[in-house]
Amino acid sequence: MQAVILAAGKGTRLRPITEKRSKAMVPVLGRPLVERALMPFFDNGIRDFVFVISDEDTEIRDHFANRCDLGISSRFVVQHERLGMAHALGLAAPLVSDRFVVSACDSLLDPAHVKDLLDAADGADAVLSLLDVDRELVTRSGVVELDGERILRIVEKPPFDDAPSNTVSLPHYVFPPQMLDLLPYVEASPRGEYELQDAIQRLIDGGSAVTGVRASQRFQVSSPEDLLRLTRLMFVRESEPDPTCRADAGRRATCVDPVHIERGVVLGEACELGPEVFLESGCEIGNRAVVRRSIVLRGARVGDGEIVEDRVVV
């Protein structure tokens, strides 16, 4: 099975982190966000990935060609204008055959939920990842009307009073190849985007069995605060101390685990690092600086004696 990863988003709400890199390439403990997003699919046996990227992303091709150690097949198409998910998927269509999955790079799932999606595809034409949300959040997503597990209707960002339920569709799907044939018929929405939900509704109206699998949770990365929370979660899941931290820190730093220091970080004398600190290659920590529960990105400097807590330093 193939996976199409939608990675052309601008990441406006992640600024200033995304001023000098794409949202897809924001680092999470040494791996870019897009790689973290594909891992649950990799863990379920998928090795063929098509990435829809922006023309501004100068790093993602190089990463998967030269630095990614997963051994996957990676191909790329460029979305020059951000015109919605249906538009993005249509660009990837020439590289897709047979049944495939689609996922957004800023929404992370548990591998067990991905397995449930793939298992459900054995008894349906298409499968959507669903999440029950508080009623006041329904206007932000595609909302579904259900009959048991079968989806009867999907409405993109409905007015509050028109929402058919409080169950929303997450940006993770299993689709049949005929889904690609419906994309050219999707019309632009009032906001000028080609919505994937319109194509899904066409699939339903054509008699296809479209079902949903509820996720217990998902992790959306939309802001610097989200990135901090995700990094802390990864520290818990990847709890083994990184031996390169001690090798690079030497006698210059006092480290309180967990700490992840990439090679190429400049450390001042007597700095204090940790817990829950990620230092990206190309950053600098000043003499006697203190960094706790924070991320310091390339090109950034923490000044001499400065105390940084619960921040992303850019």
pLDDT, tens only, 200-225: 999 999 999 999 999 988 788 999 99
> Model confidence at 229, in pLDDT bands (50, 70, 90)?
very high
What's the pLDDT score for residue 247?
A: 47
What's the pLDDT score for residue 288?
A: 95
Select from 139, 157, 237, 148 the least CA-distant residue to 193: 157
Average pLDDT, the chain: 91
Please state which of the ranges 164-168, 244-248, 279-283 shows the lowest mean pLDDT.
244-248
What's the pLDDT score for residue 242?
A: 56
What's the pLDDT score for residue 87?
A: 96
Please state the rounded mean pLDDT for residues 49-59. Answer: 94
What is the CATH T-level fold of the domain 240-313, as seen in this structure? UDP N-Acetylglucosamine Acyltransferase; domain 1 (2.160.10)
What's the pLDDT score for residue 141?
A: 76
What's the pLDDT score for residue 97?
A: 87
Please state the rounded mean pLDDT for residues 174-192. Answer: 92
Q: Is the model's pLDDT at 250 over the cut of 60?
A: no
What's the pLDDT score for residue 10?
A: 86
What's the pLDDT score for residue 245?
A: 52
| Residue range(s) occupied by CATH 2.160.10.10 in the chain | 240-313
Q: Is the model's pLDDT at 59 over the cut of 70?
A: yes
CB 297 within 8 A of CB 308: no
What's the pLDDT score for residue 217?
A: 81
> Model confidence at 226, in pLDDT bands (50, 70, 90)?
very high
Q: What is the pLDDT of residues 125-181, one digit of tens each?
A: 999 999 988 877 777 778 889 898 899 999 887 777 778 888 899 999 999 999 999
Q: What is the pLDDT of residues 85-126, one digit of tens each?
A: 999 999 999 999 889 999 999 999 999 999 999 999 999 999
> Model confidence at 239, in pLDDT bands (50, 70, 90)?
low
Please state which of the ranges 25-39, 150-164, 233-247, 269-283 shows the lowest mean pLDDT.
233-247
What's the pLDDT score for residue 22?
A: 94
Q: Give the predicted TM-score (pTM) of the model.
A: 0.91
| Residue range(s) occupied by CATH 3.90.550.10 in the chain | 2-222
What is the CATH T-level fold of the domain 2-222, as seen in this structure? Spore Coat Polysaccharide Biosynthesis Protein SpsA; Chain A (3.90.550)
Q: What is the pLDDT of residues 288-299, one digit of tens each?
A: 999 999 999 999
